[in-house]
Structure 1
Amino acid sequence: MSNGAHEIIFRPGLEGVPVTHSAICDIDGLNGHLSYRGYSIEDLAAHSTFLETAYLLIWGELPTEEQLHDFEAEVQRHRRVSFRVRDMMKCFPATGHPMDALQSSAASLGLFYSRRAIDRPKYVYDAVIRLIAKIPTMVAAFQLIRKGQDPIQPRDDLAYSANFLYMLTEREPDPIAARIFDRCLILHAEHSLNASTFSARVTASTLTDPYAVVASAVGTLAGPLHGGANEDVLAMLEEISSPDQAAAYLKKAVENKQKIMGFGHREYRVKDPRASILQGLAEEMFARFGRDDMYDVATALEREASSLLAVKGIYPNVDFYSGLVYRKLGIPRDLFTPVFAISRVAGWLAHWREQLGANRIFRPSQIYTGKVTRAWCPVEERTLEMDA
């Protein structure tokens, strides 16, 4: 379509259209490589912690021992939320979705802390601390509140991931379980310009406060085309029910052109590197705490898919094994996406800071397809046929 001096190329969903420069995350989808700030996801999952990885994403470099100690201490000190936030959450309907509760709660933090002083380094640092610290507390709080219980206060003697599992399940987690959960958070912390991260950058470009930025990202993540796929994977595995049914299920789904949950990714043409790590974490969980029969169904389905789907570049993605790990950790199924948000807030904040560094408000164009040159008609002369 022509627009005077140049041709406009329309790409639905902005697919393949670069909209910003970024030094945060690099994805090589052809070879299955993912890195944060140049560090491979394999190395980070094996050697780092979530808070150390969050620091890397947001500030650009791995912290020194002193910087990491101070960062962890600040996050620990700000885990608690105001009683006013808790009272607000008690007014939410128990039947409400946890993602809606999280979006409202995250936005409410702006009432307490926002001064839109984004030109002040201390304000930026404090906002990062508060959001990373308080998001897990609010997720766990709503889980207990909707069950008619009072939220559990954070424990200062527990590390970040162990503390969340404690607040959620009301018991101190096994150290191995806490470490596996921490590694899961690392794997989900960042993944380039997906829908929620793009939403965060668009909101950030208006120079609003970071609490609104995170709330907008949570709202975007709540959509079924972005978050919640690992919930659907578990439902699919339960429908298949046994390994010997995997081949028939897959054959029928392919014939009916039905989406296979947990398979395929817009970025990857090989197995998602995060899926490989999560599969290993699932096996660690089962070795320690007992096997999940649905894991055998999952591996059988992956084997069958290697001949039917791999030729099309369709392999397991990050959602295929994560639900099995979360279920074994005692996380309710409808909290899988809020847990994703606990992790991804690190990536959202990294993109918020990067956007502020070279900001220009997002204002894409459009191709108008509506009616033109219409004559005004008085209301008494209008008919339904006129709008047909």
Structure 2
Amino acid sequence: MTATKGLEGIVAAASSISSIEDGVLAYRGINIDELAEQATFEETAFLLWNGHLPNQQELAQLKGLFNVFSAVPDSLLEQLKLYPKDANTMAVLRTAVSALALYDETANDNSREANQLKAIKLQAQLPTIIAAYARIREGKEPVKPLEGVSIAHNFLYMLTGEEPDATSVLALDKALVLHADHELNASTFSARVTIATLSDIYSGVTSAVGTLKGPLHGGANEAVMEMLQEIGTVENAEGYIQRKIQNKDKIMGFGHRVYKNGDPRAKHLQHMSRQLGLMQGDTTLFDISVKVEALVTGQKGLKPNVDFYSASVYTMLGIPKDLFTPIFAISRLSGWTAHILEQLDNNRIIRPRAEYTGPYNQKYIPIEMR
């Protein structure tokens, strides 16, 4: 047996949920470009869970269930008030998702019907939890979710208590579509490993949230925003990037393990970044981003990934940096739960082997002789 670092190039599962072939990302066979331009996040979640786009009746039913389940138990909100105000937001989300299982009497029912309903519940509840904690740490009361609006609309409303404009809702909805699934990424793999033991769906999602928390996976867009803020102006971009290149520092938001010719999702967020800047009368973040992209791509040959422009989009939506990864979780939950359902449909516990690199033929030495 020979180990492959990071399991790179290893096919660890068969899946019909999403594919990345020749640089093209597709959900259930539909190109991400079509979905980003035409589909809502609710349609996308249904597609991932069910293998086909919903008709009007199916979509209305799903939206109705999201409305029904968007509230979270009052006792969970009280728990959020006890958390440190400076707690890591992904640690808060990880703990809250785990706690949700305690309030669900069907938590240990692993039938497909029960898990499909729990996937819908979780998809409805995550935005409420994240928005609630964001307000609680500022000394504000959580805002109850609205009925009859999209997940993107509801999240922005619960975060601020104010009705969001249509462009902002569209931008967040598009970002949710683009982040919904990405084949066998690290957090999705951890969800499948956990559920393969026949643990419950809450455990699987908790594993995934914990994995997404890592800066090499879900935290890249936060690091991108920190970089843009450090640069400050378009004029500062060239000197900043040159120093990064000379020092051989990693420039966050560029390159991808799977995409060698550019992330197909980046262009859609680039467009939304520009639109939001024009709407707000300030394109500074977009202009800096474009300059940085030109420098990095021109000198290192690296192209932006989905994290690069999502940073400026979220910032222009008024979202704090430390909520970027939790928003990623809201979207990717649809993919995580789709993979959990698929894993359970044809389950075998995931138990790879390791290449042993330690010593051989060692002898036990009695303690008095050591």
TM range (shorter): over 0.9
Among candidates 191, 194, 205, match of residue 196 of structure 2: 205
Among candidates 314, 317, 327, match of residue 329 of structure 1: 317
Deviation per CA, 1:66-118, whole angstroms, max 9, x where unpaired?
11110110111100001111111111111111100100111111112144221
Deviation per CA, 1:1-23, whole angstroms, max 9, x where unpaired?
xxxxxxx2210110110000011
**In 1, are the aligned partners of 2:110 and 2:200 still within 8 Å (CA)?**
yes
Give the Cα separation in 1 of the matches to 2:261 and 2:212. Answer: 24
Counterparts of 1:76-91 in structure 2, within 5 Å, are 76-91=67-82
**In 2, are the aligned partners of 1:188 and 1:340 still within 8 Å (CA)?**
yes
Give 1:303 shift. 1.6
Give 1:382 shift. 5.0
Give 1:58 shift. 1.1
**In 1, are the aligned partners of 2:254 and 2:304 still within 8 Å (CA)?**
yes
Give the Cα separation in 2 of the matches to 1:260 and 1:216. Answer: 28
TM-aligned CA distance change 1:307 to 1:115, over 3 Å: closer
Among candidates 10, 32, 37, match of residue 3 of structure 2: 10
Deviation per CA, 1:243-271, whole angstroms, max 9, x where unpaired?
23333333332222211111101111122
1:24 counterpart = 2:12: no
Give the Cα separation in 2 of the matches to 1:260 and 1:115. Answer: 42
1:214 counterpart = 2:202: no
In the alignment, what sits opposite 1:5? Answer: none
Select between 348-357 and 281-290 the one with higher mean Cα deviation.
281-290
In the alignment, what sits opposite 1:73? Answer: 64
Give the Cα separation in 1 of the matches to 2:214 and 2:117. Answer: 29
Counterparts of 1:1-150 in structure 2, within 5 Å, are 8-28=1-21, 30=22, 32-113=23-104, 114-119=106-111, 121-150=112-141
Give the AA of the match of 2:13: T
What count of residue pairs does the alignment treat as equivalent? 369
Select between 9-18 and 146-155 the one with higher mean Cα deviation.
146-155
Give the Cα separation in 2 of the matches to 1:273 and 1:125. Answer: 29
**In 2, are the aligned partners of 1:76 and 1:160 still within 8 Å (CA)?**
no
For the pair shown, which has the larger CA radius of gyration, 1 or 2? 1
Counterparts of 1:284-295 in structure 2, within 5 Å, are 284-295=275-286
Give the Cα separation in 2 of the matches to 1:301 and 1:370. Answer: 45
Among candidates 327, 350, 353, match of residue 365 of structure 1: 353
How does the TM-score come out when normalised to structure 2? 0.96
**Secondary structure, aligned partner of 2:265:** helix
Give the Cα separation in 2 of the matches to 1:281 and 1:207. Answer: 41
Among candidates 347, 354, 363, match of residue 375 of structure 1: 363
Give the Cα separation in 2 of the matches to 1:243 and 1:69. Answer: 45
Give 1:55 shift. 0.5
**In 1, are the aligned partners of 2:244 and 2:250 still within 8 Å (CA)?**
yes
**Secondary structure, aligned partner of 2:20:** strand
1:180 counterpart = 2:171: yes
Among candidates 278, 281, 297, match of residue 306 of structure 1: 297
Give the AA of the match of 2:60: H
In the alignment, what sits opposite 1:318? Answer: 306
Identity level (%): 43
**In 1, are the aligned partners of 2:67 and 2:148 still within 8 Å (CA)?**
no
**Secondary structure, aligned partner of 2:25:** strand
In the alignment, what sits opposite 2:157? Answer: 166
Give the Cα separation in 2 of the matches to 1:115 and 1:230. Answer: 33
RMSD over equivalenced CA pairs, Å: 1.5
Give the Cα separation in 2 of the matches to 1:99 and 1:356. Answer: 26
Q: Runs of at least 4 residues of structure 1 off by over 4 A?
A: none
Give 1:308 shift. 1.0
How does the TM-score come out when normalised to structure 1? 0.92
**In 1, are the aligned partners of 2:42 and 2:150 still within 8 Å (CA)?**
no
Give the AA of the match of 2:287: D
Structure 2 gaps of 5+ residues are none
Give the Cα separation in 1 of the matches to 2:334 and 2:369. Answer: 54
